[in-house]
Structure 1
Amino acid sequence: WTEPPSDAFTLTVDPWKAPDGVEYIEITFEEGIPVALNGEEMDGVSLIAKLNQIAGKYGVGRIDMIEDRLVGFKSREVYECPAPVVLLQAKKALEKMTLSKDVIAAKADLELKYAELAYVGYWFSPLREALDAFFNQVQKVVNGVVRVRLYKGQSVVVGLKSPNSLYAKDLATYSAGDAFDHSSAVGFINIWGLPVVTWKQVHDPKNGGCESEVTLSKETVKSQV
């Protein structure tokens, strides 16, 4: 119920005291690793230190949360991590542009396990090493530049460009110029929805809510075959 006091933070200013204007930054990623800030190449430590200063000036990166501890009880934790918050947000946006849907879904599950291994002290476990192989493979195509807008406690991704982008404008303009044949959607919808339609016909209370029995004649079976 008690709000963290301002003097609890050293890397970030109160958002309401942040500059009134916006600031745009650009982060360059190579195989998922941030390698440059605003076009200037940096090693990881230098980049994080510099981004901490820039994002912290705008009050970005404060986290106030209830955490589940390893031993079973909950605790309130207050963090400030300006650079990691911006970097993770930018990287996830770039991944949405460069990774396939199924890889993104699998990564979402495995990255939670990866974080858990680090949290509980299992960094040197064989599972963590095995997960490294997956992530290293996935990140090979996460290349590009992300533009982020900073303003009073918020960081917003406003621009993306990548040589590995899977986004094709002509497939999803929702206009007459679409390369995608919208008439193909009718057959797809019918087939995709068939399991749900069948389930509803069998179990819908309006249809009696019981299993239906279907009897086919020999002639019908032959014609179906």
Structure 2
Amino acid sequence: MSDVKQNVKKVVLAYSGGLDTSAIVPWLKDNYDCEVIAFVADVGQGAEDLAGVEEKAIKSGASSCYIVDLREQFVKEVIYPTLKAGAVYEGQYLLGTSMARPIIARAQVELALKLGADALCHGCTGKGNDQVRFEGAFAALAPQLKIIAPWREWEFNSRQSLLNYLAEKNVPTTATATKIYSRDANLFHISHEGGELENPWNEPSDQVWMWTKSPEQAPDKAEYLQLSFEKGELTAINGNAVGAIEAIEQLNAIGSEHGVGRIDIVENRLVGMKSRGCYETPGGTIIVAGLRALESLVYDRTSLKYREEVGLEVAQLVYDGRWFTPLKDALFAASNSLAEQLTGDIVVKLYKGQVTVAKRRSPNSLYSEAFATFDGDEVYNQKDAAGFIRLYSLASRIRALHAKG
């Protein structure tokens, strides 16, 4: 046994109860001869996923299992700030999986430090983005703790080999050799990979989608929602005050009924390869539509341009797992400052998978019907535009004269 393995006495494992982490528990005990503590993060994946998870962890060999409710932190500390920043990865992805990782990793580190653990363990594969996100957070928060990534160490290379190992160890599991899709769910979204999606020429079948109706199955009658925002955060739906978790859950339910929030993309992973994924983010899609509409009212042109630049940087940062960095603090300071103006009401129309803005108002609105009208007004003399245009195009004029001379 290596010195590293000998020095590990207690490890905290990010545990889901799925096939991979069920196998990791006995594998750690076999290969590191250490105590294994299961850590389960409740980020809103649903009661079905959490049912029986503690018993399952203990039966697989964990000494204890801690289930930590992170939903409120997830919304307030990650989802809302990221949405206010306007972060969208590669033009479409609202970062549902990426956003959950820092809050999970931080809670895992906190538990490990509290219990005096020597190491942290995750079940991320060596091909994905999540290994970088978790280990980047671990490095920033507790660099003294060792990191164990079984997928980069063990000899297993298939679901069947993991199932054989669990059978050998007498660890019960409901997993089977055939797993069509790889899914990740939380309060904000659900993702789907694998199966027919591995061929980008295949259209996703109906069995891919789990939350949202298809536009064809959605109601034939549109539904209108009034969204009330204060400083960029949703505070009421149709005039009824909502808490952070409740807001996302309500909009997920309503948006799913109307087929809102589906995307099918081929994205660039951080590790260099492309992957194809289908994502369902109904509530997030509705909130983003509301925020963009509110921005159109209250941000001047240069402020909006800067917010868009910040949004691109934040999207890259969140996707790449650089949450616990000074850059994140600086970018969010900028976006939160701008979002101080994002107060108002937006009415959106949901119909057949689409979200369109029907009405908008804000006490901070820069829009004035008196200024925008084609009729006469007292603040804008159209003759003034001639001088403005002459100065605005001065460089082009000089260039043209220089070319002629």
- Conserved in 2, the CA contact under 8 Å of 1:19 and 1:58? yes
Bigger mean CA offset, 46-55 vs 130-139: 130-139
Give the deviation of 1:100 after TM superposition. 1.6
The sequence identity of aligned pairs, in percent, is 36
Give the deviation of 1:187 after TM superposition. 1.4
- Indicate the SS of the match to 2:359: strand
- Using CA pairs below 8 Å that are at least 6 residues apart, which structure has the higher relative contact order? 1
TM score, norm. by length of structure 2:
0.49
Give the deviation of 1:202 after TM superposition. 2.7
RMSD of the TM alignment (CA)?
1.3
Which residue pairs with 1:38 in the alignment? 238
**CA separation in 1, counterparts of 2:222 and 2:377?**
35
Give the deviation of 1:175 after TM superposition. 2.4
2:333 to 106, 110, 133: 133
Q: Does 1:108 align with 2:308?
A: yes
Give the deviation of 1:135 after TM superposition. 1.5
1:148 to 342, 345, 348: 348
Which residue pairs with 2:257 in the alignment? 57
**Structure 1 unaligned runs (5+)?**
213-225
**CA separation in 2, counterparts of 1:159 and 1:183?**
33
**Structure 2 unaligned runs (5+)?**
1-200
1:7 to 195, 207, 214: 207
- Conserved in 2, the CA contact under 8 Å of 1:172 and 1:180? no
Amino acid at match of 1:8: V
Which residue pairs with 2:358 in the alignment? 158
**CA separation in 1, counterparts of 2:252 and 2:388?**
48
Structure-2 change in CA distance of 1:75 and 1:200 (3 Å): farther
Give the deviation of 1:15 after TM superposition. 0.2
Matches within 5 A, 1:72-111: 72-111=272-311
- Conserved in 2, the CA contact under 8 Å of 1:31 and 1:140? yes
Cα deviation 1:44-63 (Å, max 9, x = unaligned): 11111100111111111101
- Indicate the SS of the match to 2:263: strand
Q: Does 1:69 align with 2:269?
A: yes
Q: Does 1:16 align with 2:216?
A: yes
Structure-2 change in CA distance of 1:90 and 1:156 (3 Å): same
- Conserved in 2, the CA contact under 8 Å of 1:61 and 1:81? yes
Which residue pairs with 2:81 in the alignment? none
Structure-2 change in CA distance of 1:10 and 1:178 (3 Å): farther
TM score, norm. by length of structure 1:
0.87
Q: Does 1:180 align with 2:383?
A: no
- Indicate the SS of the match to 1:15: coil
Give the deviation of 1:101 after TM superposition. 1.1
**CA separation in 2, counterparts of 1:196 and 1:146?**
41
**CA separation in 2, counterparts of 1:175 and 1:75?**
53
Cα deviation 1:54-103 (Å, max 9, x = unaligned): 11111111011110110112111110101111111110110111112111
**CA separation in 2, counterparts of 1:177 and 1:21?**
41
**CA separation in 2, counterparts of 1:183 and 1:81?**
49
**CA separation in 2, counterparts of 1:11 and 1:64?**
14
Amino acid at match of 2:272: G
Q: Does 1:120 align with 2:120?
A: no
Cα deviation 1:132-171 (Å, max 9, x = unaligned): 2112211111100100001111110111011110101111
Give the deviation of 1:33 after TM superposition. 0.6
- Indicate the SS of the match to 1:195: helix
Amino acid at match of 2:211: L
Which residue pairs with 1:195 in the alignment? 395
**CA separation in 1, counterparts of 2:279 and 2:372?**
40
**CA separation in 2, counterparts of 1:76 and 1:197?**
49
- Indicate the SS of the match to 2:207: helix
